[in-house]
Chains A and B, each alone.
Chain A
Amino acid sequence: MADAPAHDQVLDAKGLLCPMPIVKLAKFMRDLESAQVVLLEATDPGAVPDVAAWSKNTKNPVIHQETEGKVMRFWIQKA
């Protein structure tokens, strides 16, 4: 697995269920500068397809992701 890229901020969405991880992520991204990276941590079982769908529609790319047990981590760059 490729090394995780650097990140500027962490967003802990562990324990939150749909739709809150995506809603929190959307709000969080508003305050980031372009090209900054947020590391999102989530445990919602639907997080992988949900983050992919959110990324596709908002054009903020997921540049790296990892899964460790029930925790999914996404490195998302602000477009």
Chain B
Amino acid sequence: MSSILYVHTGGVSTPERSATPIYLATTAAAMDVEVGIYFTVNGPTLLKKGVPETLIVPKYDGNGAPLRRFIDQALDMGVKFYVCQPSLDLHGLTKDDLIDGVEMIGGAAFNDMALEADQVICF
């Protein structure tokens, strides 16, 4: 099976950047690709409990959808979500502050995933 690792660095201050890596990952999973998203830098702020329900992914006509919809689609298709401790520390978050379905890894595990993946795509 092919594999893609997405790296998501966008956070709550840039809602327009929040959903794209997630729905591309969902599409890859629908194509029978093994997919993970590594949320780092500001990425973990998107996964804080309560945020996905209230963060609206903007649309030109004002009818944006909450980020939760994109996250649920991804998790439902088997996309794996990863975070690492330093990027949580950056925002004063702990694993318990995050939504369910997020796995904690470290830098070494991330680098190993990158080496093992067929493609790494950074946002």
Residues of A within 8 A of B (CB): 18-19, 22-23, 25-27, 53-54, 57-58
Q: How far is the CB of B72 from chain A (nearest CB, A)?
A: 11
Please give the number of chain B residues whose Cβ is less than 8 angstroms from any Cβ of chain A in the complex.
Answer: 12
Q: List CB contacts (< 8 Å) of B11-28 with chain A.
A: 23-24, 26-27
Indicate whether B31 reaches chain A with its CB closer than 8 angstroms. yes
Query: With A23-B73, A23-B77 as given contacts, are A58 and B27 in contact (CB-CB < 8 Å)?
Result: no
A49 to chain B, nearest CB (A): 12
B30 within 8 A of A: yes
Assess the B30–A25 pair: CB atoms within 8 A: yes
Asked whether, in the complex, the Cβ of B32 is within 8 Å of the Cβ of A19, the reply is no
Q: How far is the CB of B81 from chain A (nearest CB, A)?
A: 17
C-alpha spacing A23/B30, complex, angstroms: 5
Residues of A within 8 A of B32 (CB): 26, 57-58
